[in-house]
Chain A
């Protein structure tokens, strides 16, 4: 039986309570009659033989590219770059897609006698991955073959000697990327497309770029013009990346793009109820919910976080395509939509969302208040095509504990951003104008980024810019169950319960508002008509 498509439920008196994520916890909340709940499509069937599919894709590329085996030759310089820890979410069960794809690429390279091969983690300004995380992503076999010889590196956006400036786009944007990648005879990029924002020219133009290059599209104005950044054709973020990608290609860098898509089988069977429609919960699902929710209520937050971050998603590959970047990405985007698209009619006054424990930037870490804002207003709010789910001047209600808590190893500059910047202003443009440069060039943050496992000093700014479209669009943001001080620091309103939040929202949007709940994860994309 084919998987069921996404679904928009209209809540009636017979509708059971609806699951809301709340960080490392979840609860069942009763939504008012007439509310809508958007459910993701069921996981599409995975590829039966992913390895065979990968080999087939490499041998039958799309767009203006030769088959990979014919591009490989002895004496050439080959670089394989791949996505970092931010994808997929949650991290998938082994074997990770990156391992499966890179092993096939290396097999072909070995057959062709290619000796000069290097692997680069396309970090951009993200934190460096740990050995354990790398081993999980690419497997022990690859790690042991390359890491000890210094051939597995993590992109360093602050290493001037390892960067090369390729020129300016027609809009005057600097294109500066990893030197080894740029000077290779062939750059193979291995991507995992979790959401429609990922992949395409963004893989290289962002993943292997420097701050000097990134700042042209990672800024408030670009994000405000991206409606949404999940819709490539209406995203200024992507337009900028596409200009850069074309310049990279014009500079003689041959990119062989390999993109993969996943089904949205997000949680293992023990947490299967998290991705089921509540009225279809069987006895096992209800038992699982009761046992886990009661246990989590009594579990210290730190331990609950460790438990959840140890959860590996049973994602499976649904497609793999390789070849020229734009041709590949067109196919990839279609596969993503096939899995995640849900048609929704009309906007809503109030959009509710339960935020989970994880975002792309806190894998094995804390979802600090800035990341809470980014997850809700950056990612969830932008999961649309056409029009935002919530009308202009509407209200977003997010459920998350929003603790005033940071991981000092991973997010050192976030702490100062929260203390020093957001206490002054929450306006993204003012934030950028007054504070960005000093954080981006702070030598201590740069040192931690380059040698430790810290996000770049400017990264919290980007997280705030990610919210820029939503902040401009919304009348108010209410956080349910959040740390009041932290929520107020973000410029949002704090509510202790959902009913409180709804009353607060009514003060903004008027009486008898329409309400829509985004039942995610699993990830879905609302096609709003």
Chain B
């Protein structure tokens, strides 16, 4: 062996500059790639990226693919006890946060145009709100946009493996959204029983039947959870279509982007006599698809296509990924609206 005199010194500036990318530290790249908006710059991941090191350890570490995950501790995941989040003092605190923080923030960030809520005026709960799912913003946006008779007495079904895998996450989501853990990868009696018990106890439920956020902007096939719960409890299902939220924070996105959104509440549905959960689930999905069509066209066109059975499927065309992306509107939907109108357009 011999000392490599001078070599490291002469290479130091070049190599030091190369270090960040070659060692996988994100540097400023992630933040820059994400865009330039102030919200983007202030997002946690952008802050982490700009701090000069990879997201870990500011964010939780990722799990090596070769290492099996340990079974969740009994207190977490689907076994997490959310009773505390439905006690009166917690509900009061959540209502204050929802009305004074979440709603104004949603108005700034998402400018939601709410359609169809007039059809819920005379609806008596409990109700299951079944919506498409494209972004983490969906749950708080929908919850804060619900008519007042539902808003503060609604729980949100959230993925047990994602939102309840750590104590702090479970506590945070239970408080902020009244989230309850739902097993999304397999049928779990405890999940179903908890949701059914809450509906029986006159709590409303927000559920995303896709089971997860859309990976590319097109919806995924609806699972039968909402339909099953409706059939089991006799509750109404209100199909909801959320349009534009993927532009705010898409799956895998690192920054928040301000845009306009539309929330369309559909006509409440009940399972018909003898209708099984699968067929009822298809009806719910078809209803959401009609509303999606309405968001991209108009109400009359959407009704005509629904009547003729030519409503474009929620899942988009069966085509190459680039074509699917191409067909999605790159820009957020533009609505005819009078920005001077007070939002929400209707209270209660």
A residues sitting closer than 8 Å to B (CB atoms) are 9-17, 28-30, 278-283, 285-286, 289-290, 426, 471, 474-477, 484, 487-488, 491-500, 503-504
Q: Which of B2, B11, B62 contacts A279 (CB 8 A)?
A: B62
Chain A's closest residue to B19 (CB) is: A497
Could you say which residues of chain B place their CB within 8 Å of the CB of A499? 15, 18-19, 22-23
Is A495 touching B54 in the complex (CB atoms < 8 A)? Answer: no
Chain B's closest residue to A290 (CB) is: B57
8 contacts between A and B (CB under 8 A): A14-B64, A16-B62, A29-B23, A30-B54, A492-B3, A494-B4, A500-B16, A503-B15
Interface residue B331 (Cβ < 8 Å from any Cβ of A): no
Quick one: which of B1-42 are within 8 Å of A by CB?
1-5, 7-9, 11-12, 15-16, 18-19, 22-25
Report the separation of the CA atoms of residues A479 and B144 in the bound assembly, to the nearest whole angstrom.
57
Could you say which residues of chain A place their CB within 8 Å of the CB of B18? 499
Interface residue B319 (Cβ < 8 Å from any Cβ of A): no
Interface residue B66 (Cβ < 8 Å from any Cβ of A): yes
Report the separation of the CA atoms of residues A495 and B23 in the bound assembly, to the nearest whole angstrom.
14
State the majority secondary structure of interface residues on A. Answer: mixed
State the majority secondary structure of interface residues on B. Answer: loop
Is B15 touching A496 in the complex (CB atoms < 8 A)? Answer: yes
Is B25 touching A30 in the complex (CB atoms < 8 A)? Answer: yes
- What's the least CB distance linking B26 to chain A, in Å? 10
Most buried by A among B24, B166, B168: B24
Assess A9 versus B61: contact at CB under 8 Å? Given A30-B25, A484-B9, A499-B22: no
Contacts A10-B64, A14-B62, A290-B57 supplied; 18 other A-B pairs, CB < 8 Å: A9-B67, A16-B54, A28-B54, A279-B62, A280-B61, A283-B166, A286-B57, A286-B60, A286-B61, A484-B8, A491-B1, A495-B8, A497-B15, A497-B19, A499-B19, A500-B11, A504-B7, A504-B8
Interface residue B273 (Cβ < 8 Å from any Cβ of A): no
Interface residue B65 (Cβ < 8 Å from any Cβ of A): yes
Is A493 touching B8 in the complex (CB atoms < 8 A)? Answer: yes
Is B166 touching A14 in the complex (CB atoms < 8 A)? Answer: no
- What's the least CB distance linking B319 to chain A, in Å? 28
Could you say which residues of chain B place their CB within 8 Å of the CB of A426? 1
- What's the least CB distance linking B214 to chain A, in Å? 22
Interface residue B53 (Cβ < 8 Å from any Cβ of A): yes
- What's the least CB distance linking A92 to chain B, in Å? 28
Could you say which residues of chain A place their CB within 8 Å of the CB of B58? 286, 290
Chain B's closest residue to A494 (CB) is: B8
Interface residue B56 (Cβ < 8 Å from any Cβ of A): yes
Interface residue B63 (Cβ < 8 Å from any Cβ of A): yes
Assess A279 versus B64: contact at CB under 8 Å? Given A30-B54, A476-B1, A500-B15: yes
Report the separation of the CA atoms of residues A4 and B196 in the bound assembly, to the nearest whole angstrom.
40
Q: Which of B15, B56, B63, B64 contacts A11 (CB 8 A)?
A: B64
Could you say which residues of chain A place their CB within 8 Å of the CB of B57? 16-17, 28, 281, 285-286, 289-290
Report the separation of the CA atoms of residues A495 and B54 in the bound assembly, to the nearest whole angstrom.
22
Is B15 touching A491 in the complex (CB atoms < 8 A)? Answer: no
Q: Which of B3, B19, B62, B64 contacts A488 (CB 8 A)?
A: B3
- What's the least CB distance linking B45 to chain A, in Å? 15
Report the separation of the CA atoms of residues A474 and B11 in the bound assembly, to the nearest whole angstrom.
24
- What's the least CB distance linking A23 to chain B, in Å? 18
Could you say which residues of chain A place their CB within 8 Å of the CB of B67? 9, 279
Could you say which residues of chain B place their CB within 8 Å of the CB of A13? 65
Could you say which residues of chain A place their CB within 8 Å of the CB of B56? 16-17, 28, 278, 281, 286
- What's the least CB distance linking A431 to chain B, in Å? 14
Q: Mark B138-156, 1 if CB is under 8 A from A, else 0.
A: 0000000000000000000
Report the separation of the CA atoms of residues A497 and B11 in the bound assembly, to the nearest whole angstrom.
11
Chain B's closest residue to A19 (CB) is: B57
Report the separation of the CA atoms of residues A484 and B10 in the bound assembly, to the nearest whole angstrom.
12
Chain A's closest residue to B5 (CB) is: A488
Could you say which residues of chain A place their CB within 8 Å of the CB of B2? 491
Is B63 touching A14 in the complex (CB atoms < 8 A)? Answer: yes
Could you say which residues of chain A place their CB within 8 Å of the CB of B3? 487-488, 491-493
- What's the least CB distance linking A297 to chain B, in Å? 12
